[in-house]
Amino acid sequence: MPRADLGHIQLHVRDDGPRDGLPVVFSNALGTDLRMWDALLPHLAPGLRVIRYDRRGHGLSDVPQTPYSMGQLVRDTEALLDHLNIRACVFVGLSLGGMVAQGLAVKRPDLIRALVLSNTAARIGTAQMWRDRAAVARTQGLSALVDATMARWFTASFRASPDLALWRDMFLATPVEGWAGCAEAIAGTDFYSTTAGLKLPTLGIAGERDGSTPSDLVRETVDLVAGSEFALLRRAGHLPHVEHPAAYAEIFNRFLKTHGLVAE
């Protein structure tokens, strides 16, 4: 299914695996598209229905006129899951995707059975920082932000490898207005009080060398959810599933098994 028509927007989506498998929805980081999960998929437990999508303003999805709000990003995802007739999914959100995960879990608990908050937080950075970055993107282009972003996302050894090119290219291919609109949505987001009210199986994952959402920040958010679990990946940055896909999947698969979501 290339693009889902949700009425107010068309989003690029991939819906793979058996229709009757446990639905697992992956929600991307700012400046990435659904290919960001490619390396992880071969390591996931068998039999899952895997749904990935490009957020508004990213990848092959529509780029509506800005401003965007977090409420709109959550509504887009809600509409997508309703469109695909998905209920009780495992929702994996990384960074901005993890903010959407928190907002969606509060708004539509019927859609989410278990939550993975990866390299994310209830509030990321400061509002001014995101507004400043959005202004730089609009005036100078994403090329003015790419080096600093790669340094926050990846460890030095990964940055020295040929694999970095894919991520630079993906970031630079993001429509400027889409990136800036989503950055401004992050600027206006503070989920501390609402995330603290969540009651569902929740796994937090952090990277030891994450320059965007340091592990202590991720842990602080994950600890808001009673009974949550937390895992730290060593020698990993902001996208630990890219640098260590097998280790990331092992943590995820174990979480699914512990909660009886897949067979032992």
Backbone angles phi, psi at 237, to 5 degrees: -100, -140
Contact status: 186 vs ligand LWBT4IAB (CB under 6 A): yes
Contact status: 95 vs ligand LWBT4IAB (CB under 6 A): yes
* Per-residue contact flags (x/-) with ligand LWBT4IAB for residues 30 to 59, judged by CB under 6 A: x-----------------------------
In angstroms, the CA 210 to CA 6 distance is 34
Contact status: 124 vs ligand LWBT4IAB (CB under 6 A): yes
Rounded to a whole number of angstroms, the minimum distance from the CB of residue 159 to ligand LWBT4IAB is 14
Rounded to a whole number of angstroms, the minimum distance from the CB of residue 189 to ligand LWBT4IAB is 10
Number of residues this chain uses to bind ligand LWBT4IAB (CB under 6 A): 10
Contact status: 174 vs ligand LWBT4IAB (CB under 6 A): no
| Nearest residue (CB) to ligand LWBT4IAB, 30 versus 44 | 30
CA atoms within 13 A on the CB side of 260: 0
- Beta strands at 49-53 and 89-94: parallel, antiparallel or unpaired: unpaired
Distances (CA, A) of 18 to 5, 21, 24, 190: 22, 5, 11, 36
What residues numbered 145-164 form the site for ligand LWBT4IAB, per CB under 6 A? 149, 152
Token digits of residue 113: 């059975």
Distances (CA, A) of 145 to 120, 168, 172, 173: 20, 10, 9, 13
Rounded to a whole number of angstroms, the minimum distance from the CB of residue 145 to ligand LWBT4IAB is 8
Rounded to a whole number of angstroms, the minimum distance from the CB of residue 132 to ligand LWBT4IAB is 13
Q: Any residues with CB less than 8 A from the CB of 77 and at least 6 apart, and which? A: 25, 27, 53, 100, 104
Nearest one of 237, 258, 17 to 114, comparing CA atoms? 258
Rounded to a whole number of angstroms, the minimum distance from the CB of residue 47 to ligand LWBT4IAB is 29
Q: Does residue 64 sit in helix, strand or coil?
A: coil
| Nearest residue (CB) to ligand LWBT4IAB, 1 versus 173 | 173
Contact residues for ligand LWBT4IAB (CB under 6 A)?
Answer: 29-30, 95-96, 124, 149, 152, 186, 212, 238
